[in-house]
């Protein structure tokens, strides 16, 4: 979850159903009423199925499983909402350092993905490789392993750790 906002009910009044529930920005919702949630669509369906009755929300906050109860608000277009902005996917750019086709072995450098709205690190539950396109391959050089304009700002300390390696920039 990455945000919260007021909901305008069918009576045109503003509500904050999440208020005093304990749930916070950055928490990850895992269940609604004991039904596992793995996508935004599943969350919306479970909340709408409640018909306005309080839902039990299981979520992870700072690696601790917590629960709360939230009563959804009915909107003018007959939907029920909690006032929580949720995101069920994120995309990032990674760098693969090598791939050996005969053994299908690879080495990769990972990095965190920061939420564009909150500037907070996103907690990712799972991930996968997707089709990529190699833009360039630059052979590292002594004291300058990443000789290209995009990465030339790397500190000397970081560059020294990866001297004499091939770097593949994958987008």
pLDDT digit string, tens, across residues 24-41: 888 889 999 999 988 888
Kindly tell me if the per-residue pLDDT of 44 is higher than 70: yes
Asked whether 146 and 138 are in contact (CB, 8 A), the reply is: yes
CATH code of the domain containing 12 = 2.30.42.10
Kindly tell me if the per-residue pLDDT of 15 is higher than 90: yes
User: 68 in a domain, yes or no?
Assistant: yes
| Domain final residue pick, 85, 107, 135 | 85
- State percent of the chain over pLDDT 70: 58
Q: Look at residue 26 in the predicted model and tell me its pLDDT.
A: 80
Q: Look at residue 105 in the predicted model and tell me its pLDDT.
A: 81
Which is more confident, 132 or 67? 67
| Total domain count, the chain | 2
Closest C-alpha to 113, from 123, 103, 98: 123
Clarify whether residues 99 and 69 are in a common domain. no
User: 135 in a domain, yes or no?
Assistant: yes
Clarify whether residues 107 and 45 are in a common domain. no
Find the range with the poorest average confidence among 14-18, 47-51, 58-62, 115-119.
115-119
The residue whose two tokens read 């994958």 is: 170
User: 146 in a domain, yes or no?
Assistant: yes
User: 117 in a domain, yes or no?
Assistant: yes
Q: State the pairing for strand pair 105-109/95-100.
A: antiparallel
Which is more confident, 93 or 102? 102
Q: How many residues does the chain have?
A: 171
The number of CA neighbours under 13 Å toward the Cβ of 72 is: 22
Clarify whether residues 165 and 116 are in a common domain. yes
The C-alpha atoms of residue 140 and residue 158 are separated, in whole angstroms, by 13
| Residue 36 belongs to domain spanning | 3-85
| Domain final residue pick, 85, 110, 137 | 85
The residue whose two tokens read 């909402």 is: 81
User: 90 in a domain, yes or no?
Assistant: no
- Interval 9-28 mean pLDDT: 91
Query: Which of 75-79, 84-88, 141-145 is the most confident on average?
Result: 75-79
Clarify whether residues 110 and 68 are in a common domain. no
Burial 39-71, CB ≥16 within 10 A → b, else e: eeeebbebbeebeeeebebbbeeeeeeeebebe
């Amino acid at each position: 979850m990455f945000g919260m906002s007021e909901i305008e009910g069918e009576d045109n009044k503003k509500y904050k159903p999440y208020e005093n529930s304990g749930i916070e920005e950055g928490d990850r919702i895992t269940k609604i009423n004991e039904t596992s949630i793995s996508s935004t669509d599943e969350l919306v369906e479970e909340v709408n199925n409640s018909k306005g009755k309080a839902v039990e929300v299981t979520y992870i906050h700072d690696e601790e499983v917590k629960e709360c109860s939230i009563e959804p608000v009915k909107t003018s277009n007959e939907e029920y909402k909690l006032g929580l902005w949720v995101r069920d996917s994120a995309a990032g750019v990674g760098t693969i350092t090598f791939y050996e086709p005969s053994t299908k072995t690879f080495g990769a450098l990972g990095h965190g993905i920061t939420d564009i709205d909150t500037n907070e690190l996103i907690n990712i539950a799972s991930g996968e490789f997707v089709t990529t396109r190699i833009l360039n391959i630059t052979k590292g050089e002594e004291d300058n392993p990443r000789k290209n304009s995009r990465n030339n700002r790397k500190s000397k300390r970081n560059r020294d750790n990866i001297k004499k390696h091939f770097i593949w920039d994958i987008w």
